[in-house]
Amino acid sequence: MKKLFGILFVAGLVAGTAVAEDDVKARTAPVGSTCMSGDECAAAPAPAAAAGPKSGKDVFGSFCTTCHSAGLMGAPKYGTAADWAPRVAKGKETLYTHALGGFNSMPPKGMCAACTDDEIKGAVDYMIEGSK
């Protein structure tokens, strides 16, 4: 019985060799590839330029909302006048300075290193307006 099983098993492998080989190649193919400077594949198209400055709403939605929607680590909540009133009383320039340079638990520019100063100021204005 062992010989018969062995013969059938080997015959099955030989008969399916082409399929099995293709199957193995597909399963063991590299997931990605590398491209070195100077190689033909390195001539990737340049990334698209930004369409223009981001609005305060866009900056808030992309960066500020994580902390300012939930009030994480003492951040004033968007839409909550009581959280913003004492801060607004210090003046917009103080709020801009804190937003740009960081304050308490908030990092400089609220983690939006690519944002311009005007975009950050726009986000501050958006949060103030939305919290009146």
25 vs 80, higher pLDDT: 80
Q: Does the residue 89 lie in any domain?
A: yes
Q: What mean pLDDT is predicted for residues 84-90?
A: 96
Instruction: Domain count for the chain, please give it.
Output: 1
**Pick from 97, 100, 121: nearest CA to 109:** 100
59: how many CB neighbours lie within 10 A of its CB? 25
**pTM > 0.85: yes or no:** no
Q: Does the residue 86 lie in any domain?
A: yes
Q: What mean pLDDT is predicted for residues 53-81?
A: 95
Give the tens place of pLDDT for each residue, 97-120.
999 999 999 999 998 999 999 999
Q: Does the residue 13 lie in any domain?
A: no
Give the tens place of pLDDT for each residue, 22-44.
888 888 888 877 887 777 776 65
Helices 17-28 and 2-15: crossing angle, nearest 10°? 70
Range(s) of the domain holding residue 106: 56-129
Give me the pLDDT at residue 75, please.
95
Give me the pLDDT at residue 129, please.
96
